[in-house]
Amino acid sequence: MLSTLATVLLLAPAVLSHGIIMNPPSRATGPGQTTACGQAIVSAIKSDNTSYVEQLTKLASTDSKFSAAACNLYLCKGLQYADNSANVQTWKAGDVVPVKIWLRIPHEGIANVSIVSTKQNKVVGDFLKVWTKGYAPGKSEADVPIEQREFSVTVPSGLETTCAMAGDCVLQWWWLGTAAKQTYESCVDFKIAASGASQGLEFKA
Ligand SMILES: *[C@@H]1O[C@H](CO)[C@@H](O)[C@H](O)[C@H]1NC(C)=O
Ligand SMILES: *[C@@H]1O[C@H](CO)[C@@H](O)[C@H](O)[C@H]1NC(C)=O
């Protein structure tokens, strides 16, 4: 009994995890990630695509197939554009994009949404959403305020060149459970069409 309890407690941090963008379609794993990150990370993501980065860095340290140059776990959890080229969204400046997060297990902390240039590995433009405290409180998804799980972001202007090509930019949701010290990232591939070129999503959420 005691040892069973101990096992459950030991396993809990790896098993209870935690969040991903459900909509628009977010980056998933695939053979490109196996090449870049190794099989251990891909298997972990396959068994739980809401898992946290610190679990994956631990796996990386024991997998000789892990390539730090090709697999940046702090950018989209090392998920690769090559596995997701069929899921590229086309937006234009001013489009209002509804985002839906699955917060499988909450951990109170901070979060934000931004556009990241994958080549430069840095945020470009202003943060689109920032929660400096109180993000994802409670014990189950129902405890988390709906506006933290379902919100919309407006595609900024000024990134038409930086984000013209699929794969060059992602919309990244980033959440840190401050007490749990667990980081979550989920990314949407998109490109920005020159103004007037697409019929964007014009409704307000
Ligand atoms: C993540 O897993 C959920 C549940 O298994 C699934 O519905 C969803 O499509 C997956 N998303 C990605 C990006 O892999
Ligand atoms: C964005 O979120 C990440 C993870 O929660 C955090 O490390 C970073 O400081 C945040 N940045 C801003 C500007 O909120």
Q: Would you state the pLDDT for residue 195? A: 74
pLDDT tens figures, 131-157: 999 999 999 999 999 999 999 999 999
Sheet (strand 182-192) strand order: 89-91, 182-192, 169-177, 109-117, 122-135
Q: Would you state the pLDDT for residue 7? A: 44
Q: Which residue out of 53, 74, 112, 132 has the highest number of ligand 2 atoms within 8 Å of its CB and is therefore the one to mutate?
A: 112
**Which residues have CB under 6 Å of ligand 2?**
110-112, 127, 130, 174-176
Q: Would you state the pLDDT for residue 103? A: 94
Q: How far is CA 26 from CA 18, 59, 104, 188, 196, in A?
A: 15, 22, 16, 4, 25
pTM of the full structure:
0.88
Q: Would you state the pLDDT for residue 92? A: 95
Query: Low-confidence residues of the chain, pLDDT below 50?
Result: 1-15, 197-200, 202-205
Q: How many A from CA of 17 to the centre of ligand 1?
A: 13
Q: How many A from CA of 49 to the centre of ligand 1?
A: 6
Domains, the chain, with CATH or none? 19-192 (2.70.50)
